[in-house]
Chains A and B, each alone.
Chain A
């Protein structure tokens, strides 16, 4: 069931009396409990897109549904109430510098009208424990590292028990190690709280690590979308290919493939087949030699996958390929 539904939504900005399109008309469903990634270069429109969900940006046309609620039709007080059910975290954390960690986390509770200090204290303690910051409650944001600040941001976003969490380039200001730990935390929250997460990023690696589905945004248009495994393993649009190549630098080009190599194939293993010796068994049975040109075995979120680029040599190579397909391995000819 879609929890967020965009129907023919578009957005343009008025600059000096002219309409500058930011997002071309698009429709998109984001389903309950998934982690949905939107990837694009800066200026592609992804910040605008994510802000349409809580109406920080108003669409120029179309319909935005959260559950059954038409967001664009809500009067101001109802919109504010709805926003409390949508948490948001930011690239630059956007914490109140004048308040302690505990007060930052308590802020959305107070905004929602909670007056009971005991309840607030208990909820704040619970949230800080959730993000692993129990010991830092009395500190000010300026005394924290980037990763800790983002954890405060996450605790704050979760305070009113939202159903949706929006992540605006949440790890772009963090170093790789901190990025990994923040992504792990987001994945755990998604799993344990059954929270729908929508994130925007310019890094395919973020998408690969925690997203279930992804949409690729290029110049205000969604050019490709689908499960992360499909998009990541078989990118179709040029922009998607570039993003995938950035995440896999060692496979960025096939320039290392010798011209005389004959048939160059890319084999993709997904899930359980990745972990079984399918390739060597099939090749042995059919008496085919192969020469490995490039390869990678990794994970897409929880799905193990392998992708091997190789050349085949032997009379029965077609039969071998058929047997591989039978075993569930995806095979593509790579233009040499």
Chain B
């Protein structure tokens, strides 16, 4: 019996289809959680910005409460957040396992982080431009929609990139408690069964994924920054 080059390099990997499915699971978890993170984190970031001290709708107590919540969620290590949130996850999606079970904790872990990045990006928008819009009779909503978000789009795109990469890391951690994906393979085969070729391949795939995300993000940011 002759061994193919792949088989001789990675003797323990007998089911490349399983690896492919894990890849897809990771991408599904990433795509789903990133979408929801942006959908929740962006308004949350705008709210943090608007209610902050000296801003358009300064509300110190509301800002303080949201800020505290964001800080609490950000200070819990993700693996612990996942375990703590299991009942919530079950209530939301009917399972604690797999891609579906991974998404709620991923979003709850990443949205506050992303919201902070959005808040920071919005603070970079020149106050004068906001004042000009006010002088033109713009409402707060119009300022958010037509001034703040477009002017901060490079910063927000950079924030999405950083968040996506953080989420890749989180999905891999999720593998340890049954969420599937590349992290799950690396943990089960690479760590528990000492099949280090699995570890090498999954790590390489994760590196490639992170590289691609960073390159894509940098491109978008550069395009937005051109003007």
Binding site for B on A (CB under 8 A): 54, 56, 79-84, 86, 88, 90, 92, 94-99, 107-108, 110-112, 140-143, 156, 160, 166
Contacts and interface: CB of A to CB of B under 8 A. Distances in A.
Interface stretch (B73-81, B136-144, B169-177): B136-144
B135 A92 contact: no
A80 B139 contact: yes
Interface string B193-227: 00000000000000000000000000000001011
B129 A111 contact: no
B146 interface: yes
Interface residues of B, number: 21
B227 A111 contact: no
Nearest to B224: A98
B151 A97 contact: yes
B136 A95 contact: no
Q: State the main secondary structure of chain A at its contact with B.
A: mixed
A143 B227 CA distance: 8
B126 A94 contact: yes
13 contacts: A56-B135, A80-B138, A80-B139, A88-B136, A92-B126, A94-B126, A94-B132, A95-B129, A97-B129, A98-B227, A107-B146, A111-B142, A111-B146
Q: State the main secondary structure of chain B at its contact with A.
A: helix
A23 B135 CA distance: 21
Contacts of B126: 92, 94
Contacts of A56: 131, 134-135
A152 B150 CA distance: 19
B144 to A, nearest CB: 13
B137 A142 contact: no
B224 A54 contact: no
Given A95-B129, A140-B227, A111 B151 contact: no
B128 A94 contact: yes
A86 B137 CA distance: 9
Contacts of B146: 107, 110-111
Given A56-B131, A107-B146, A112 B137 contact: yes
Given A90-B128, A92-B128, A95-B129, A141 B227 contact: yes
A251 to B, nearest CB: 37
Question: Of B126, B131, B135, B153, which is in contact with the most chain A CB atoms at under 10 Å from its CB?
Answer: B135
Given A81-B137, A83-B136, A84-B136, A98 B131 contact: no
Question: Of B129, B132, B151, B224, which is in contact with the most chain A CB atoms at under 10 Å from its CB?
Answer: B132
B160 interface: no
Contacts of B147: 96
B137 A97 contact: no
Given A96-B151, A97-B151, A111 B136 contact: yes
Given A96-B151, A98-B150, A98-B227, A111 B137 contact: yes
Given A94-B129, A96-B147, A80 B135 contact: no
A110 B146 CA distance: 10
